[in-house]
Structure 1
Amino acid sequence: MKSNPLMEQSEQLAVCIEKLCKSLNKSNHSNTIFQIKKSSSSVYANISEAQYPQSPADMLSKFKIARKECIETESWLKLLYKTEAINETTYKTTRNQCGRIRRMLTSSCITIENKIKNN
Structure 2
Amino acid sequence: MKKNMVLEKSFSFSINIIHLYKYLIEEHKEYVLAKQVLRSGTSVGANIRESQNAESKKDFIHKLAISQKECDESIYWLELLVATNYISTEKFNTLFNEASQLHKLLKSIILSAKKGL
TM over 0.5: yes
Distance in 1, Cα, partners of 2:17 & 2:29: 17
Structure 1: 5+ residue runs without aligned partners? none
> Which TM-score applies when normalising by structure 1?
0.93
Aligned residues: 116
**TM-fit CA distance, 1:90:** 0.5
SS of the residue 1:106 aligns to:
helix
Q: In percent, how many aligned pairs have the same letter?
A: 31
Partner of residue 2, structure 1: 2
Distance in 2, Cα, partners of 1:76 & 1:28: 16
Partner of residue 108, structure 1: 109
Partner of residue 72, structure 2: 71
Deviations 1:47-91 (A, max 9, x none): 001111100000000000000000000000011101101100100
Structure 2: 5+ residue runs without aligned partners? none
State yes or no: 1:29 paired with 2:30: yes
Partner of residue 90, structure 1: 91
Aligned-residue Cα RMSD (Å) equals: 1.1
**TM-fit CA distance, 1:28:** 4.5
Distance in 1, Cα, partners of 2:25 & 2:59: 39
> Which TM-score applies when normalising by structure 2?
0.95
